[in-house]
Amino acid sequence: MKHNYLNNIPLDEAKRIFYNHLKEAGFGCRTETVNVGDACGRIIRNAAYAHICSPHYNASAMDGIAVDSRITFGASEKTPVTLKPGEYTVVDTGDPLPDRCDAVIMVEDLIEAGEDKLQIISAVYPWQNVRQVGEDICMGDMIAPSGTELTPSLCGALLAGGITEIEVIKKPLVGIIPTGDEIVAPTSSPRKGDIIEFNSTVFKGMLEGFNADSKVYPITPDKKELIKTAVETALSECDIVLISAGSSAGRDDYTSEIISSLGTVLVHGIAIKPGKPAVLGEAKNKPVIGIPGYPVSAIVIMDEIASDIVSMYYGRERTKGETVKAVLSKKIVSSLKYTEYIRVSLGRIGGKISASPLARGAGVITSFTKADGVLLVSQDCEGIEAGEEVEIRLNRPLSEIENTLIITGSHDPLIDEAADFLAKKGEEFRICSTHVGSMGAIYAVRDGLAHMGGIHLLDTQTGEYNKSYIEKYIPSGSAVAVRGVGRVQGLMVKKGNPLGIKEFADIKNARYVNRQRGAGTRILCDYLLEKSGISPDEINGYSNEEFTHTAVAALIAAGNADAGLGIYSAAKMYDLDFIPVCNEIYEFLIDKEYLDNPMVQAFLEVLYSDEFKSRLNEMGGYTEG
């Protein structure tokens, strides 16, 4: 088993080396000439000067009559002036002013005086109600400087200035070559070991956002010569080439070798996490980038490097996105070996915006779908404390983030369902729901990090739910639990219950999958173990922790575990057998300050609606809360 090590070049250094080399290689844009009518959104190569004036003739600005202003002088209510046919010309808005006329009298100001004569009671001054030549645009004026992105109104101004065609920068074409023996085209029924190729779709969408076109080449297996041929084809057809996967140093990772054989490898291995195993190279004076296969690593390299390369093509600096100052909700530890690229969800609770780090694994694409922004932790930083102010690069407009109901706490699919109901009702706010367990809900609501959160915390002394926990952890009484739902908790086991599990104590003989510490279901598990006199050590898989009911169900369905505690709807979804253990009360803990918040109100309104109850019935395992 061969193992090569990658370099670990600091991000800025890697960019400098790569970009300087590309500049020297003459990498840059191509142009094309297009109709101005189709040029909206395009970037013009050179300054655009008006060919003609706009208006290009003296035009009537009103419906009325055109006159020589001198014949109107002296007109007043006492001394009206009468205009005979021949002394005026009827004009509509936009009509050219007849020769010898220099003003227009509005139709509203005319009094009919018989025999086509017209009377006026006030004079007009020269050029009144006339759009003189060049009022808007003068021939020779610069309408836009080089490099301007054409807006709709700029396209209008160009046409008004007599420009019908314009040289614009051709959108760069980016070739994407997905590689890998195990990679398959998108399917809903992949075989074991098949990896669904979705990175090229993500790249295509991101490139569109960078203002680049893309061409996705067929999936190429891990054969050096085949990949090399694909890269050569892409180099002959495209401005930029991306090779997806195979950029690390494993036995099937040929990217670096292939780029070397066709051109130059500048960097192999960047001190960024995720994203380390990237290759930055050049061939035929074009950038060739080896992108890591893990989706999150890939997105980071697209965002950090490919985005810059497209900007460089256009001759621009990197487009700086909007940023926002936020308070970090949770301590981050970071290695001095890397710049870290941490996805965060953002929320405005009260006066401040808080940033909560999301899952950091490189394989977790959903950490990007949920990410409202990115926190870059520089290489020389060992970590950031909770409560510190950090700068976040925004992934969505701040207005959307401000307009978000933050629900943090125990997982229940009903929260997603309620979000969907609200969206269908046309509510414009967004729900950001994270699963940190019931205790997580208590801390988040107490610390002002969430508007509300689901809780189902059994007081093993009293048998009551939630009340004693809230009293203990939020003694100020600043939060209150409102009615949610009743739920059946039980053991999920494989269909047909092959191990013959009858009650909770039987998990001693099974491979168990647990929930994370702080989860209401974990507390229930610990309570049931204690009641049965079983020590956690006796449970095989006690330390195998998952964050959601569906994750537990998925592992049982996959055979990674035999049993796990969860709610009925999750078991049903995965076609598992379900052995009920208890009925519990799932409530929503809400900061009192937000009880009247319109988003909270809208959420509860849906929750308590009859339509929603029908949906819960379909899902199964719920009772009135």
Q: Which of the residues 43 through 62 are near a copy of itself (CB under 8 A)?
A: 47, 51-58, 61
- Given the rule CB under 8 A, which of 266-274, 391-399, 448-456, 494-502 is the region that contacts a copy of itself? 391-399
Work out how close the CB of 42 gets to a copy of itself at its nearest, in angstroms, rounded to a whole number: 10
Residues 228-247, interacting with a copy of itself (CB under 8 A)? none
Question: Which SS3 state, helix, strand or coil, does residue 608 take?
Answer: coil
Does 399 engage in binding with a copy of itself (CB under 8 A)? Answer: yes
Buried-state track 367-404, b at ≥16 Cβ within 10 A, e below 16: bbebbbbbbbbebeeeebeeeeebebbbbeebeebeeb
Q: Is 40 in the site for a copy of itself (CB under 8 A)?
A: yes
Please identify, using beta-carbon distances, which residue of 264 and 366 lies nearer to a copy of itself: 366
DSSP-derived secondary structure for 229-245: HHHHHHHHH-SEEEEES
Q: How far is the CB of 370 from a copy of itself (least distance, A)?
A: 9
Which residue shows structure tokens 């800025």? 12
- What is the per-residue DSSP string for 315-353? T-PPPP--EEEEEESS-EE--TTSEEEEEEEEEEETTEE
Asked whether the beta carbons of 211 and 171 are under 8 A apart, the reply is: yes
What is the 3-state secondary structure of 344-369? Answer: EEEEEECCEEEEEECCCCCCCCHHHH
Side chain identity at residue 53, one-letter code: C
Q: Quick one: which of 175, 263, 293, 564 contacts a copy of itself (CB under 8 A)?
A: 293
Interaction residues for a copy of itself, span 347-386 (CB under 8 A):
361, 363-366, 368-369, 371
Phi-psi region of 172 (alpha: psi -120 to 50; beta: other; left: phi over 0): beta
**Cα gap 398→410, rounded to integer Å:** 27
171/68 Cα distance (integer angstroms): 53
34 sits near a copy of itself (criterion: CB under 8 A):
no
Q: Which of 110, 121, 324, 579 binds a copy of itself (CB under 8 A)?
A: 110
* Contacts to a copy of itself from residues 435-494, by CB under 8 A: none
**Residues 143 to 162: which contact a copy of itself by CB under 8 A?**
143-148, 150-157, 159-160, 162
Among positions 79-108, residues that touch a copy of itself (CB under 8 A) are: 90, 92-96, 102, 107-108
Among the residue ranges 11-19, 127-135, 476-484, 516-524, the one whose residues contact a copy of itself (CB under 8 A): 127-135
Closer residue to a copy of itself (CB): 74 or 126: 126
**Residue 475 Cβ vs a copy of itself, minimum distance, rounded to whole Å:** 36
CB of 563 to a copy of itself, least distance (A): 15
- Nearer of residues 54 and 72 to a copy of itself, judged by Cβ: 54
Q: Find the binding residues for a copy of itself in span 155-214 (CB under 8 A).
A: 155-157, 159-160, 162-164, 180, 182, 186-190, 192-193, 195-196, 198-206, 208-209
Number of residues interacting with a copy of itself: please give it, by CB under 8 A. 133
Q: Contact at 8 Å (CB) between 490 and 571?
A: yes
Q: Rule CB under 8 A: choose which of 10, 63, 381, 582 binds a copy of itself.
A: 63
Map the footprint of a copy of itself across residues 405-444, applying CB under 8 A.
Answer: 413, 416-417, 419-420, 422-424, 426, 428, 431
Residues 6+ apart with CB under 8 A from 303: 206, 374
- Report the SS3 class of residue 3: coil
Question: Cβ closer to a copy of itself: 232 or 400?
Answer: 400
| Binds a copy of itself by CB under 8 A, chosen from 132, 233, 460, 468 | 132
Interaction between residue 333 and a copy of itself (CB under 8 A): no
| Distance separating alpha carbons of residues 82 and 112, to the nearest angstrom | 9
Amino acid at 294: Y
Local structure of residue 487 (DSSP, 8 states): E
3-state secondary structure 550-586: HHHHHHHHHCCCCEEEEEHHHHHHCCCEEEEEEEEEE
| Tokens describing residue 176 | 């994407």
Q: How far is the CB of 155 from a copy of itself (least distance, A)?
A: 5
Cβ proximity to a copy of itself, 384 vs 431, nearer residue: 431
Name which of 107 and 534 has its Cβ closer to a copy of itself: 107
Q: Residue 551 or 579: which CB sits closer to a copy of itself?
A: 551
Q: Which is nearer to a copy of itself, 160 or 375 (CB)?
A: 160
